Structure 1
């Protein structure tokens, strides 16, 4: 691993690889702490620097100052590119000596931030660990049957024993949360993501400074049973709906993410044991292992 030696401490080189953790909409930066603590126990040496942060509007960070600009629609504080601009400025300010070699570890919508950053700043992002990435090129209105559609056959199109009231309530809630034009607490404007990143395999990414190779990529998905239980607990989505509709779409999307780089640099899709959507919360030891493996590949230890 390339290092930097401080003149005052010539016998203690500092790693100049930076790992940046990118949150989803649901959980702030604090959720990465168990994974980072377990990773720090690994035998990897020297270890990279790790940066966690809360985007504007989430966790400990204030609302985005741009939210009050006259050209902003209320509730849509920042776009994907706005988030990338803030991230780039943050990295430049906090880690100017480590801003040219980055590994992203991201969950949910953080996948789009990582992909966009890697495309905008080629040959900087040398590795990406995708944790249950949000399929940003679709939404539930195109996946689930519309309960208002006269052709709906409830018995054939929903899990056994599902009433129309239960299904309609779940459908309405899922659309309200995940539709790209729906507002969220953070103010992350998702309306243009499916246009910016319509294909999970494109644009192809370049992550090597010495060749035209792409970055090292590891794609991890949730465990279906745990995810289904999570959906039922949080949103009363009938058990079995994920298996019928959501899972096939998600698996195809994860397979596509592996195509962002060269075949010999892609790993996955893997399934995180006993994990729902928030893999870093449900199984931090598994995430720490995948991060260690990814960094070893980035640094040529494989």
Structure 2
């Protein structure tokens, strides 16, 4: 595992981000793989993916890209909070995903220029590997900085345009039809809706201060907008979803019975992923595919699978 280091962004000199960086192998076509965390899991699990990818490519004599992992402000080994959150009415909603994307851009400019020795930041093949809300950041980065991202590997993306509660029918709605419950008890669904609202609704903040309140406005459509890659076409995009059975089992720990997950959540999430692949042209997309034995944190549960999918993307880009 690479050494954890710290860096201050130019616009936020009073705070430091933790990161690890591994330089690329000898190549005339430099590439940088950037790993984007979700809210609930910091950078550490990515290192198993990197290790297995390096073994895979070294065994086959293929070149290696550079690797960057990092923890956002207030996350993992970055103990400093975002300085711009000081004085926020609600520190758990101190900044939004666009602010996190701006931080990422500053970090990438510094990494590419200072650690890779490349002055033209946009000349580096950029591959974004993301999980959960990190997938929203990857999409927003690609939109804010068009023609710069060569590939995206999206692992169980956050449902960016959903409040999560609406996945389930509302037994108390005026137009409620009991057939919507598909045979499940109304009280069970009421309890699940209440639990999901307490944990996953966009109004629920987090110690990182990364607010999701406006995420549905930032990314209102799961299938767009169409992204622009650096080669005159959209980036290569692979969309991965969780394993249905594994996710249903893990969801019981959050009070969601398996029948509820299998009836409502898994189909809803899969439909979202089926649309998500459309953020690039047909010939550059793959998926959605399901991570074997992978729950929401795919990189933690199925690192070898993630390494294989990333290797496939690298072969298309390098």
Question: TM bucket by the smaller chain?
Answer: 0.7 to 0.9
1:109 counterpart residue number:
133
Written as runs of structure 1 = structure 2, the 5 A alignment for 1:52-91 is 52-61=69-78, 62-69=80-87, 73-91=90-108
Query: Is this contact kept in 1: 2:73–2:82, CA < 8 A?
Result: yes
1:230 to 244, 250, 258: 250
Deviation at 1:153, TM superposition (A): 7.5
1:216 aligns with 2:239: no
Query: Is this contact kept in 2: 1:14–1:46, CA < 8 A?
Result: no
CA distance in structure 1 between the partners assigned to 2:129 and 2:257 by the alignment: 31
1:24 counterpart residue number:
38
Query: Is this contact kept in 1: 2:128–2:153, CA < 8 A?
Result: yes
CA distance in structure 1 between the partners assigned to 2:190 and 2:26 by the alignment: 61
User: The residue matched to 2:237 in structure 1 has which SS?
Assistant: strand
2:313 to 277, 289, 294: 294
Deviations 1:107-150, CA, capped at 9 Å, x for gaps: 00011100010111111100000000011111223221235447
CA distance in structure 2 between the partners assigned to 1:184 and 1:260 by the alignment: 28
Bigger mean CA offset, 127-136 vs 185-194: 185-194
1:273 aligns with 2:292: yes
Query: Is this contact kept in 2: 1:23–1:110, CA < 8 A?
Result: yes
1:34 aligns with 2:48: yes
Deviations 1:43-99, CA, capped at 9 Å, x for gaps: 3622000100001111011211111145x5432122111001100001111222464
User: The residue matched to 2:71 in structure 1 has which SS?
Assistant: coil
1:94 to 102, 105, 111: 111
Change in 2 beyond 3 A, CA 1:167/1:200: closer
CA distance in structure 2 between the partners assigned to 1:154 and 1:60 by the alignment: 48
1:7 counterpart residue number:
none
Query: Is this contact kept in 1: 2:168–2:189, CA < 8 A?
Result: no
Change in 2 beyond 3 A, CA 1:121/1:157: same
1:4 counterpart residue number:
none
Query: Is this contact kept in 1: 2:129–2:152, CA < 8 A?
Result: yes
CA distance in structure 1 between the partners assigned to 2:258 and 2:86 by the alignment: 41
Deviation at 1:159, TM superposition (A): 6.3
Change in 2 beyond 3 A, CA 1:229/1:155: farther
Aligned length: 283
Deviations 1:165-188, CA, capped at 9 Å, x for gaps: x54443222112211122122111
Deviation at 1:191, TM superposition (A): 1.0
Deviations 1:222-253, CA, capped at 9 Å, x for gaps: 111100001002x0101111221112221111
2:206 to 153, 176, 184: 184
Change in 2 beyond 3 A, CA 1:159/1:221: farther
1:285 aligns with 2:285: no
CA distance in structure 2 between the partners assigned to 1:198 and 1:278 by the alignment: 23
Structure 1, unaligned stretches of length 5 or more?
1-10
Bigger mean CA offset, 256-265 vs 177-186: 177-186
CA distance in structure 2 between the partners assigned to 1:197 and 1:132 by the alignment: 16
User: The residue matched to 1:27 in structure 2 has which SS?
Assistant: coil
Deviation at 1:15, TM superposition (A): 5.5
